[in-house]
Chains A and B, each alone.
Chain A
């Protein structure tokens, strides 16, 4: 009896959430970093470009991880050989469904990470 936090089958349900979790972590990193920086440094500070760079780096890391998750999802989806709906009562259908849904979520998360990072592209100071 190994030490397992969750049943195996639930772990594989949770891979559905991989990409959104990456988005969430990226969002938190950006927000918390900027908030603490602006709270402690003051409105206009020369260190702001460093913050922007950091956000850029975090964004690239997040996007790469999401691409990896998307690749795994695409593979789970059988590389798109079978189109939806995956509504047959067998394990293969269930796995294809999971793969497709995970792929869609990866695409959404990819877009959402880019949206989150855009402010760092346009804004040049903490302002107030």
Chain B
């Protein structure tokens, strides 16, 4: 199978000479051409990870500055008692938007930005698996963010706190701001789930050959865990948003106690998201420290497995903490106590990381640098935040500290120490990879001290202010309570901190034309991202096989070999962008994966989907419909042209005598993984809605309030029809593989008809029994589950039609059958959804 010593591809090293060099130059020319970013206005249709990473990071930093200005406004208003710098209404919008923008438009996107930019190089590959998805995520984020931030200029910003508790946030008091908040969130949810898909598939399947999981850079371990967390944390928020919007738009009473609803459900769903969210934000920043510390200790990390423990442990435990945000809501003491215990426990893996960094430094030969300065300062701040976190984990103490400035102090200590300072460290560290220049060490030191001192002066007093009784979210306070000096000091500190931030911004954006170019690996780091020169777009000149955790330290010849194209995929003979897919555990090469190049479809999809959300916020239904149709068309175009392409040949020689297939379907394929991961997220959202159904049962003596249910018959009929549709899909896949194409197409049609029938039966139950969702939460939640199921059935039908069209168009054949594999995978999840929905609504609580 493997032809040795082919003349293309620079495989075995031949005698040096102009022959060899000419070949290399020809390769470089082709590589450069295929990886080129588009120019002119078309530049914005680029999908290169380096371009998108820079756009993402810049946009996130701009939103951070916007939110920072809002914070300064807040602090100015609070500098003296009974101040009138801001009215109550503007103040409430300012603090709400500050939190919302910082959490959703800065903290989450900034780590996505870093990951998109630096992860491929770090893993020893050229790109992430779905570049158009990254682009889509970015444009969605930009559109949503501009919308949310812009609202305050119209006095229409959300004003009920960044977690928007009903009934306040679902009432008229909240104004259109609440819908704008939901809108902004929807974009971020979409972008984050897209990022999760990319990161998991990229980290599991796109590593350099030989990069086994015990050799993977720790940043990759952390991001793998974080991506998994996103998959389980964001969907409950999506479910909550659906209920929230249904209440605002349709008056379905999910949080209205007069009709059986409960505002506590929102708090559960929000915080099941919200607590893991802060770890989703914290872990990637600490992951940057895991890359920075070894570089400046000039030795490998001490305690690699302990970091894996910490990342996985934190990831799991963080899902058991959410009720600690609800300690004052009157839930049973024993319930609260479980969450106190878990909140204490999570400090263990958190502390492990700090011990690992200290241990590595102790065993190393430390050299000073601005990244280490920010990193160490951040850790010091974070430790204080961690200690106060252990304090508020204890519910009786939290009963005093909750909703006071003590918590404001705690959350800023952990977020600024544990996230912002490491991100700034990462900015200084990775800056040379963007354009080949270094940031100024002198300005970096000044910025650090301004930020460090300013932050502590601003936030340390708040511990005292809070315990002296100052609640959160108050636009002013009276004189006699002993808070005056504390608040003034905090305000001064905030401005000092802001000055430090401005110094960093100034240094990052000022033109550096005259500055010296940074050397190729200015910090003498050991990991592979430093093998990607910023002057070229191709990432790695060739894809190496790695043999250690710090290849640039331990394999001295490696960089030269990569640059000379002596490794895999040094060329782009067919004019396509290519990367290697490798096995999960041991990094064995499995496939050549062709990543899509520049496309305007991702941009159009983001704008049209955005258009749908925006139009719906303003109740412009026709516009929403038109936008939705446009989105659908663009999406179909994207999928048809960008996935499941049949290659011109079965295999390709990737260099060094290795030949790999170009088309793989089923479990090892990237598309299958993407579908699997997406459906896990989707399934979690469904699970959250189901949780809502059972939650309402627990809080009511008489759940159905005497109202009619959907009966048993129609739901069970629907269940049967969906199961049948699913079974036929499985059969259809086998028919296709066996070459029985005609029967395959018939099976698709049959399954499609069964799906439509099942949807009808599913809707028939609530419809025929006159279940009115505006009346009470029971009919509302039943309708929600049914509509969710039918909407997914609609997606299933589109997928079946797509496969049918693909079969007729010759892109889905018995040999090239990725599409049907992925669609059948969707149908597994569809079956589970349908079974649970119809069994639950049909049998519970009736059968009890």
Contacts and interface: CB of A to CB of B under 8 A. Distances in A.
Nearest to A116: B341
Residue among B214, B320, B335, B583 with the highest chain A CB neighbour number at 10 A: B214
Interface of B: 204, 210, 212-215, 300, 303-306, 308-309, 312-313, 316-317, 319-320, 330-335, 337-338, 340-342, 344-345, 348-349, 546-549, 583-586, 667-668, 698-699
A50 interface: no
A2 B204 CA distance: 24
Contacts of B698: 35-36, 39-40
Contacts of B212: 89, 91, 93-94
Contact of B345 (A16, A34, A97, A111): A111
Given A34-B335, A104-B309, A116-B345, 18 more contacts: A7-B584, A7-B668, A24-B320, A34-B332, A38-B332, A51-B334, A84-B304, A89-B546, A94-B214, A98-B213, A104-B305, A108-B349, A112-B317, A119-B334, A119-B340, A123-B337, A128-B330, A128-B332
A23 to B, nearest CB: 7
A73 B214 CA distance: 15
B353 to A, nearest CB: 13
Contacts of B306: 104
Contacts of B313: 20, 105, 108-109
B214 A13 contact: no
A31 B321 CA distance: 12
B338 A31 contact: yes
24 contacts: A4-B667, A6-B667, A7-B584, A9-B584, A9-B585, A10-B204, A10-B584, A13-B584, A20-B313, A35-B331, A84-B305, A85-B300, A87-B215, A87-B300, A89-B547, A91-B212, A93-B214, A94-B213, A104-B308, A112-B317, A115-B342, A116-B320, A123-B333, A123-B337
Contacts of B308: 16, 101, 104
A36 B181 CA distance: 33
A70 B76 CA distance: 55
A28 B738 CA distance: 45
B115 to A, nearest CB: 20
Contact of A108 (B309, B337, B344): B309
A17 B548 CA distance: 25
Contacts, number: 147
A123 B331 CA distance: 14
Interface residues of A, number: 54
Interface of A: 4, 6-7, 9-10, 12-13, 16-17, 20-21, 23-24, 27, 30-31, 34-36, 38-40, 43, 51, 84-87, 89, 91, 93-94, 96-98, 100-101, 104-105, 108-109, 111-112, 115-116, 118-120, 122-123, 125-128
Complex A-B, nearest 3 residue pairs according to Cβ-Cβ distance, in ascending order = A119-B337, A97-B214, A127-B333
B519 to A, nearest CB: 27
B405 to A, nearest CB: 26
A128 B334 CA distance: 10
A86 B212 CA distance: 11
B699 A101 contact: no
Contacts of A104: 305-306, 308-309
A126 B585 contact: no
A127 B309 CA distance: 36
Contacts of B312: 16-17, 20, 101, 105
Contacts of A101: 305, 308-309, 312
